[in-house]
Amino acid sequence: MSAYLLPDGLDLDRALASHLDFRAGPARSAALTFYDTFDGRLHAAGLTLRHGDGRLSVVDRATGAETAGVPLAAAPERLFGRDLPPALSARLAPLIEMRALTPLATVVTRSRNLAVINEDDKTVVRLSEEAPRGLRTRVLSLPVRGYDKDLQRVHKVLTVSLGLTRIVEPLADEAIAATGALPAGTSSKLDLALTRGQSAGAAAEAVLARTQAIAAANLPGTLDDVDSEFLHDLRVAVRRARSLLRELKTVFPERELQRLRDDLKWVQAITGEMRDLDVQLLDFEAYADRDRLAALHEVLEAHRTRALATMRRDLRSRRATRALQSWADLRAIAGTPPVEAIAAERIAKVYRQMLRMGRAIDEDTQPEALHELRKKGKELRYLLEFFGGLFDADVVKPMIRALKALQDVLGRHQDFEVQADTLRNLTAEVDDREALLAMGVLIDRLAHEQHRARTEFASQFAVFAQRRAAVKATFG
């Protein structure tokens, strides 16, 4: 499909009449609604999900062609992977994962089909004039199989004879942009552009500003409980900011620093239970024994409903508003050293601390030690996310790889333990024999998985420790 812009005031039928034989159909109006996840996953995959005319369709962004569709009377308000009709879920569910598809723009469009015909009165090219209210009118040309030459002729008429310009931007993008939103979605990635020689204060302010913007962008979706990732991204932003304030505490005025650190610690605390429940419910989707565990699911949902109400109240409180505000307002002191100096020192120090902690771990060590190491690892991870770009990529990249692999082992070790603990605590509330038996099996499996993660620890830590010489040479 190709799209062309129709200038205001140009009568398409009259303009075409001297060049082509065609039959014009009646005009109809339809409300078109475009969907994507908050972070624009369909957009990134080159797709658009559209509802209009009683049909929910997946459209290829580049060609405008429908790749899958189902009849659906009303435009849905929100769709998860599990809500999608089978014809669409095969394509979309793996892309969106746990995210929700929500309507980003609705535009009432008046459209009319024109069939370009040959001497046998046979349709050889389909044209469609689409006038979305408040947006630019487009002419779309859709090929009919086996009539390529006619398509070329129509293209020539539209561009040369009528002087229309082709437009690549899909209607969905134009409609979404018109609402003030970003067609590509809102990213929760850091995407910092720090430079060597920049003062540590300015760099720290940039990190704070970006993390604050991510938190603010994800707050409405968290309050509306659109999907689990709003809260997750908000919490990651808070954790990153806290990490920055801890690692670069010397560049901020003491009193304001302490106040923001307290506020952010509080935000993390009031959102913790809700996130834990989200994780348990997301894990639940992957359990093989879901049917037998229905009673557990009910208990988790009930807990979540209560936790959501409490979290909403807290996030709407004056303290939460103040936290977001002071997060945006905090300024560094003047005359701080170049960022790479402080960053190198911190990265080297946290790396050395991790080496010390890791070496102390053997088969008899309590799980808490692994948990502490993981927390330290997150600290290093964030430092590298903020400042890694300032140093030699040949050192930073393998360091991040080794750290990620280590954190993965530690993370699994910790998560399985938390999951098993939660299940044990919930047994008192689950009043169903079948479910209790299934929970027992699950707890056993989790213990087994945790044990496996523990056995992988030594080798992953060894790989991480091998980076020592390179880390010392680069960061001191």
Partner 1 sequence: MSTVFATYNVKGGVGKTSAAVNLARLAAEDGARTLLWDLDPQGASTYLFRVKPKVKGGGKALVKGKSDVDALLKGTDHEGLDLLPADFSYRHMDLALDGTKQPTARLKAVLAPLQDDYDCTFLDCPPSVSLVSESVFEAADVLLVPIIPATLSSRTFEQIEKLLVQEEGPRVMAFFSMVDRRKHLHRDVMAQLRDEQPGALLDTAIPMAADVERMGSNRRPIADFAPRSPAARAYRELWKEIQARLR
The identity of residue 170, as a single letter, is P
Cβ distance to partner 1 smaller for residue 123 or 186: 123
Cβ distance to partner 1 smaller for residue 57 or 188: 57
Beta carbon of residue 149, minimum distance to partner 1 (angstroms, whole number):
13
Say which residues have a Cβ less than 8 Å from residue 251's Cβ, sequence separation at least 6: 200, 201, 204, 332, 333, 336, 342
Residues 167-206, interacting with partner 1 (CB under 8 A): none
Cβ distance to partner 1 smaller for residue 64 or 221: 64
**Binding of partner 1 at residue 28 (CB under 8 A)?**
no
Integer Cα distance of 104 and 173 in angstroms: 10
Give me the helix-helix angle, 393-426 and 254-286, nearest 10°: 60
In the structure encoding, which two tokens stand for residue 324, read together?
């977001």
Cβ distance to partner 1 smaller for residue 68 or 438: 68
Beta carbon of residue 53, minimum distance to partner 1 (angstroms, whole number):
13
Beta carbon of residue 127, minimum distance to partner 1 (angstroms, whole number):
13
Q: Are 332 and 251 in contact (CB under 8 A)?
A: yes
How many residues of this chain bind partner 1 (CB under 8 A)?
13
Q: Which of 14, 73, 82, 145 binds partner 1 (CB under 8 A)?
A: 145
In the structure encoding, which two tokens stand for residue 258, read together?
């302490």
Integer Cα distance of 124 and 155 in angstroms: 13
Q: Which of 146, 180, 197, 335 binds partner 1 (CB under 8 A)?
A: 146
Integer Cα distance of 146 and 124 in angstroms: 8
**Binding of partner 1 at residue 26 (CB under 8 A)?**
no
Beta carbon of residue 70, minimum distance to partner 1 (angstroms, whole number):
9
Beta carbon of residue 84, minimum distance to partner 1 (angstroms, whole number):
17
Beta carbon of residue 387, minimum distance to partner 1 (angstroms, whole number):
51
**Binding of partner 1 at residue 71 (CB under 8 A)?**
yes
Residues 97-136, mask of contacts with partner 1 (x by CB under 8 A): ------------------x----xxxx--x----------
For residue 317, CA distances in Å to 242, 281, 310, 323, 330 come to 20, 27, 11, 10, 20
**What residues form DSSP beta bridges with 102?**
36
Pick from 343, 327, 440, 424: which is nearest to 386 by CA?
Answer: 343
Integer Cα distance of 287 and 293 in angstroms: 9
Q: Which of 80, 147, 284, 287 binds partner 1 (CB under 8 A)?
A: 147
Which residues make up the interface to partner 1 (CB under 8 A)?
69, 71, 115, 120-123, 126, 143-147
